[in-house]
Structure 1
């Protein structure tokens, strides 16, 4: 496998696995492979592979099951791993993405896409038949800035993903207060900007999620605690802002700034959830009034400090949170009727950054 590896022989998963990325620069172990107890949702770390520096974001290819990781470094890199029964086998060396500080990645057909925060660009890398990553990358540079001189002195691409139709690629840029819609050339991997939707100045959009109907998008802002509701037209590739919903952060101390991190939509399309660092809260927004009218119905502590990621397990019965500063992953049982969250457990994962499920 290469590199150092840590193992725990206990296996209670019944074949269910979670992969947890962590910041090696903050004491993390790299990529942790954890067994999932199907009855309780408990995570049991089995293996940790540190061959990739700062794997802050992971993604599984839906067709091959290959696991991809970004290396949040300068220069930025991406790597591929073949999951086994509690193991990871590297599919070749990490490949430079042509940008700095990648914070997100996703798979689009036979291309691996990365959002490069530090350099303000997005990259497209070819994938071989076995799922390994190669180069050279095709790079699309963003341009622009925002009014926050500390955080928006230039473009900062934070997320890149395909829309549900697979016809478009959306890139979220914190530095330019906008979401770009791009066309991806399947032959060359080149990305071309098709449209740009400008959002509230100084709000710093960081992350978005599609409703399962594919027609509504929820954009979470890092510099303002709010969600922008947008209508998505896949036929024309246009994203139209409709309204803004403030996220309650009354629990945060007056001298602590709120930094929203990630938004997700439940698989049944009834709830939107958002994590907020600083206040260390998880907010549930109900869509009972309609997909375009989310409203906050409950808020709970994330159970740790600095929640960087939250993701539901494949069943939708539990929600998992990667708490970077407290160095743990907490999980919550989801009430199927109200959507409310009840903390059910936690496991130590130093400098945890993200969680994905096989």
Structure 2
């Protein structure tokens, strides 16, 4: 990475404010050295906590994380601005993640656990249908305050299918690329009870790494029967003790005492895993190591401090800069800003080199091209 890049940034409402109280989607430039430019409000929108770009680059999607939920499709204009959105229902409540494929948009509705899909025009990413197909989840887990029912939290394209990560039921659900509305999900994997799976990445050899939000571990799953995986090993998300010092994060009218770690977003760059960990408030770096015929193992490299109360919800890895380090932009929801972090991919060591406050808390970071 040598030239400046533009980012799309989704945000939450300000603490104690309802959805639609001034938050929106921002366009933010960042230089190769991690220096941010002036942000531009591209669209005012209600709780656009997650954004995704169509593979054509011509449409940007943003959730409205509310009940009932919605998803808006914004045309990306030639000058990089956003046109007027076309908005549809998300098929459930509190949508929190999107997977944009050439001909299908998958939606994870956290509130009621419904996964949903809507056809797209492969050339432009515009809606090819007016309504979504709904795929309800089922099940619960042992942590009653977070696992009283299904909670779809993430979707990923793996092996030609769509995998839905269900935090509430401790499972991965699998759907074909062209699903039929109401068809049952195939069970792709069952995680240990209380894992609270949140995000995943697929390793080149076919294994999966799943971030457990509720048990603060990274789980390695290996292929079993076709289209299924089974747990092989798990590793601590971080070596930082989140209870010392105590971190506090305010959201809405609730004050949470983060006396433990809550993993959030997980990315894979080569063999390097980057995991945001709330509570501990670090970017945790691990290396995936594989031996022929054996399950991959994870080696913890380092934890990059992001500042007390950062609550890193999401990040984007923008690639190596001139000196070989990776530029990672982190959405620090708790402190209400973006952080640019330069990370040595060999050691995992890194430093925050710039920060950009936004009017409302950032929740998602996406490279604009």
- Which of the five TM-score ranges fits, normalised by the shorter chain? 0.7 to 0.9
Match of 2:148 among 147, 153, 163: 153
TM-score calculated relative to the size of structure 2:
0.84
| Cα distance in 2, alignment partners of residues 308 and 119 from structure 1 | 21
| Cα distance in 2, alignment partners of residues 343 and 229 from structure 1 | 29
State yes or no: 1:36 paired with 2:30: yes
Structure 1 residues 69-218: aligned runs within 5 Å:
69-84=62-77, 85-90=79-84, 92-128=85-121, 129-133=123-127, 134-163=129-158, 165=159, 167-185=160-178, 192-211=184-203, 213=204, 215-218=206-209
Partner of 1:343: 352
Unpaired runs of at least 5, structure 2: 247-258
The 3 A distance-change label for structure 1 pair 64 and 190 is farther
- For structure 1, which segment, 80-89 or 112-121, has the greater mean C-alpha deviation from structure 2 after superposition? 80-89
Partner of 1:54: 47
CA contact 1:46–1:86 (8 Å) conserved in 2: no
| Cα distance in 1, alignment partners of residues 202 and 182 from structure 2 | 24
> How many residue pairs end up in the alignment?
337
| Cα distance in 2, alignment partners of residues 204 and 64 from structure 1 | 33
CA contact 2:135–2:181 (8 Å) conserved in 1: no
For residues 219-250 of structure 1, the C-alpha deviation after alignment (integer angstroms, 9 at most, x for no partner) is: 001111100001247x9212222111112343
CA contact 2:36–2:356 (8 Å) conserved in 1: yes
| Cα distance in 2, alignment partners of residues 82 and 17 from structure 1 | 16
Partner of 1:301: 305
Partner of 1:273: 274
The 3 A distance-change label for structure 1 pair 247 and 46 is closer
Partner of 2:266: 263
Question: How far apart are 1:252 and its partner, in Å?
Answer: 1.6
The 3 A distance-change label for structure 1 pair 15 and 302 is closer
CA contact 1:47–1:86 (8 Å) conserved in 2: no
- For structure 1, which segment, 315-324 or 51-60, has the greater mean C-alpha deviation from structure 2 after superposition? 315-324
For residues 154-194 of structure 1, the C-alpha deviation after alignment (integer angstroms, 9 at most, x for no partner) is: 0001001211x4x21100001001111221326x6776522
State yes or no: 1:221 paired with 2:224: no
Partner of 2:250: none
State yes or no: 1:334 paired with 2:347: no
TM-score calculated relative to the size of structure 1:
0.87
